[in-house]
Amino acid sequence: MRIMCFHLNQIGDLIFSLPALKCIRDSFPEARLISVVRPVLREILESSGLAHSIVLRNTAKNYNTVGLIMSLSAIKPDLAVVFSQSATCALLAYLSGAPRRLGFEGSSMAFLLNTRVRFHHPPSTTNNLRLVEAAGARITCNSYAGLVQAGDRQTDQADRLLRSVGIEPGEPVTVLAPATSGNRSIKEWTDEGFAVVGQNLASRGLRPVILGSNSHSNITAHSNTIVDLQGRTNISEVIGILARSSLLVGVDSGLLHLAGAIGIPVIGLYGPSNHNITGPQGEGHIVLTSGADCSPCVKTQCSIGRKCMIDVTPQSVIAAVDSFLDGL
DSSP string, 135-169: TT--------TT-----HHHHHHHHHHHHHTT--T
Sign of CA dihedral 267, 301, 226, 149: positive
Residue 54 forms beta bridges with which residues?
35
pTM over 0.85: yes
Class of domain 2-134: alpha beta
Mean pLDDT of 98-114: 95
CA gap 107, 113 in Å, rounded: 10
Largest interatomic CA distance in the chain: 59
How far separated are the first and last CA of the chain, in Å rounded? 46
- Answer whether 227's CB lies under 8 Å from 209's CB: yes
Average pLDDT of the residues in 311-327: 93
- Tally of CA atoms within 13 A in the half-sphere of 163 that contains its CB: 9
Report which of 145, 142, 146, 149 is spatially closest to residue 26, judged by C-alpha positions.
142
Span 237-296, pLDDT tens digits: 999 999 999 999 999 999 999 999 999 999 999 999 999 999 999 999 999 999 899 899
152-326 fold = Rossmann fold (3.40.50)
**Residue from 288, 284, 199, 289 nearest 246 by CA:** 284
On the question of a common fold for 2-134 and 152-326, the answer reads yes
How far apart (Å, rounded) are the C-alpha atoms in residues 209 and 280? 20
pLDDT of residue 216: 65
Domain boundaries, the chain: 2-134, 152-326
E strand or H helix at 42: helix 42-48
* Closest by CA position to 15, among listed 103, 145, 132, 133: 145
